[in-house]
Amino acid sequence: MKRRSLRSRIQRLAPTLLVAIIFLGTWELGVHLLGIREFILPPPSSILSEFSEELQIFMGASGESILFSAARATLWSAVGGFVIGCGAGILTALVTSRWTIISEATMPFAIAANSVPIIAFAPIMNNWFGITNPASKMAIVAVIVFFPAMINTVRGLTLVDPGQLELMESWAASPARVLRTLRIPNALPFIFSALRVASSLSVIGAVVSEFFGGPRATLGVYITQEASGFNFASAWSAILMASLIGITFYVVVLLLERWLMPWHRSLGDSG
């Protein structure tokens, strides 16, 4: 069974790996054959070489890697904003879903606010908290992830099977018991769907908010400064680092979902 499961996973990953190899190979050959200059598009080999040099510095004792220090600071801002924003969104949903009138009144405003380019508030947050203060970046990330978490949680708490709800009411279950045993389990797939989206949005929001200023030891500032100095391989290696952080964050949320919801049929079908 284990061999069969491993074989099926390899078969599912094979097309993705093949596409990635073809894409990177075409990119590498295209840059060399077409004579594209590095300031326009560096080849993957240059990017990986720059990334490996920073990795060797990080793993060794030859000094502090600026890239990995920047990644650590950006990760801290992304995770902090993710926890604050998603936590506040879920708590707000728990309150608003308890009273239908409040939920129906606030949901249009939440949807409208979600369409606002929140990143435009970056200069305001920098003015409030300080341009070098990680709280300014966390606040931007928190606002970005708040509305997806809130909207999805409200949907999960309210879209309950009427038959199950009537059964609970026939047993004279209290609202708190209905919430704990029916509404929250029903909302978990919606919540984790929002958390998966928020995990990627948090990294994007943290990096983009750093474009508006901050200490050098952040990925956004690092990318901006390296690009302005025509060190495009270094800038792309920072983009690669941001991608790895986003993928890792997403995988952590996915593993947490599998651990907390082994009963969910969609997870069973995908496994």
Whole-Å CA distances, 220 to 165, 191, 216, 264? 48, 29, 8, 38
Single-letter code of the amino acid located at 16: T
pLDDT band per the 50, 70, 90 thresholds, residue 176: confident
Q: What is the mean pLDDT of residues 49-64?
A: 77
- How distant is the alpha carbon of residue 49 from its chain centre? 27
**206 and 95 share one domain:** yes
Residue 52 class from Cβ within 10 Å (0-12 exposed, 13-18 middle, 19+ buried)?
exposed
Does residue 270 lie in a domain region?
no
Return the pLDDT at 265: 53
Does residue 14 lie in a domain region?
yes
**26 and 85 share one domain:** no
**170 and 256 share one domain:** yes
**90 and 148 share one domain:** yes
Does residue 160 lie in a domain region?
yes
Does residue 71 lie in a domain region?
yes
Rounded Cα–Cα distance for residues 172 and 174 (Å): 6
Does residue 255 lie in a domain region?
yes
| Highest mean pLDDT out of 6-15, 83-92, 117-126, 150-159 | 83-92
Q: What is the mean pLDDT of residues 38-64?
A: 80
Return the pLDDT at 258: 85
**223 and 109 share one domain:** yes
Write the pLDDT tens digit of every residue in 215-248.
778 898 889 888 888 888 889 999 999 999 999 9
Return the pLDDT at 270: 41
Write the pLDDT tens digit of every residue in 141-156.
998 899 889 889 988 8
**96 and 210 share one domain:** yes
Does residue 174 lie in a domain region?
yes
**Which residue has better confidence, 117 or 265?**
117
Crossing angle of the two packed helices 66-96 and 100-114, in degrees rounded to 10: 150
Choose among 163, 165, 195: nearest CA to 177: 165
Quick one: tokens of 89? 């969104």
Return the pLDDT at 5: 63
**108 and 209 share one domain:** yes
pLDDT band per the 50, 70, 90 thresholds, residue 202: very high
Three-state DSSP at 38 gives coil
**69 and 196 share one domain:** yes
Single-letter code of the amino acid located at 198: A
**128 and 258 share one domain:** yes
Does residue 43 lie in a domain region?
no
Return the pLDDT at 271: 40
pLDDT band per the 50, 70, 90 thresholds, residue 268: very low
- How distant is the alpha carbon of residue 135 from its chain centre? 18
Rounded Cα–Cα distance for residues 78 and 118 (Å): 15
Domain range for residue 8?
1-36
**Which residue has better confidence, 111 or 74?**
74
pLDDT-above-70 percentage for the chain? 86
**13 and 87 share one domain:** no
Answer for the pair 226, 234: CB distance below 8 angstroms, yes or no.
Answer: yes
Total domains in the chain come to: 2
CATH of the domain at 127: 1.10.3720.10
Does residue 153 lie in a domain region?
yes
Rounded Cα–Cα distance for residues 100 and 194 (Å): 21
**88 and 11 share one domain:** no
Average pLDDT of the residues of the chain: 82
Rounded Cα–Cα distance for residues 109 and 147 (Å): 10
